[in-house]
Structure 1
Amino acid sequence: MGLRLGDEFPDFSAAAYPDNIESFHKFIGTNWVILFSHPADFTPVCTTELARVHQLADEFAKRKVRLVALSCDDVNSHAGWSADILHYAGSKNGQKTDSSLAFSIIADSKRELAEMLGMIDPDEKDSNGIPLTARAVFVIGPDKKLKLSILYPATVGRNFDEIIRIVDALQLTASKPVATPVDWQPGKACMVVPTLSPDEAAKMFDKIKIHQLPSGKQYLRETVLAVEKE
């Protein structure tokens, strides 16, 4: 059985480019972490994804998020591939190519981590008939527990702008008793969680809008800023 939400993420050590991971738990420290996997080096979709993450590195850093990729090739291959990633990232921005990646790429040529973390896509195979590593996204909290996982097939590229939105939602809901509704964006209205009583909600939030529904049940409570009172 794979990892479930709330499980402690496994600690491991791994070779990586440019910096090895001596202990994944120490790498997490007091940060949020995103670990995202790739089928192989020098592949088109993976190159675009890693380039996009490099471009967004400052946005993740603002949110105290550390990034680390995983690909099923060795460190030397990662080193050569990184030049392509950086070139693509620079050309897409119309800027000069950076000299180093903003994150490390774990080497998993034996697919040990991919197997352990349930990243294998049985429906997509390489030229040798071996199942490819799926495009997994794991968001891990400072408590070392899995907060979110998304598993894309190897043929579908990820949307890292959406992953930033997910991080914003996770960090907000970790700090306040709210939930984010459909298509939520930072600064937009949130829903007060049903477990909070009306009195507790009134003490905690400045403004609450209760939506009147045909059922008559007052469970859909909206707070615009979800600002907790001092």
Structure 2
Amino acid sequence: MAAEPLAFSMALLIGLLGATHCVGMCGGIAASVSMGQKDTRRGIPLIIAYNLGRISSYAVAGALIGLIGYQITSGGAGLVLRTLAGLLLILMGLYVAQWWQILTRLERAGGILWRYLRPLASRLLPADTLPKALLLGALWGWLPCGLVYSTLIWSSAAGHWYDSALLMIGFGLGTLPAMLTTGLLAQQVRSLMQRQGVRSGAGLLIILFGVYTLPFSALAGH
């Protein structure tokens, strides 16, 4: 499963349609960066820097797990990894559609690392300079998030570290519409994404791609 256009598009879609979750997890800190300035024009570069740092963290995490995935694939367990990736996509679809929220349990796994990173992130507040906003985003990108973790595991089956990193960049770019409008249009974005018809349709698309990802022909012995 290389980072083909279809997979990259799905990564974008997962990020876009996970907007409600993203605003809930990171919206508060993003709003404090962008709206903590008396001059709103000054807040725009800061929120861009914050999101650039956040997406950079996703790319680094994608590259790291891509290296692990490559080793697993080289060791002959590629079929298992692709099967896991397909199943995770199906679970993500169920999560986005709000039919089953099991992915939230993945967030507990990142709690240990976040205990060490959160104090560092807190020292950067208020993030009133570009370097501080960039570093804050880079640290906040490691916030425990079931959607990020499941996308990471899915991206590990991409085949190469750079493909996994590219998929995570795609996911991060998909979250931008919600994150960049936090404090301005966040309520409208959240209202749109909370419509059950939108969530159900998005969830079904992700589930279908998960089914497509499953290696049925290999499992059947063809």
Shorter-chain TM range is under 0.3
Instruction: Calculate the TM-score normalised by the size of structure 1.
Output: 0.23
Q: Which has the higher strand share?
A: 1
Higher relative contact order (CA 8 A, sep 6+): 2
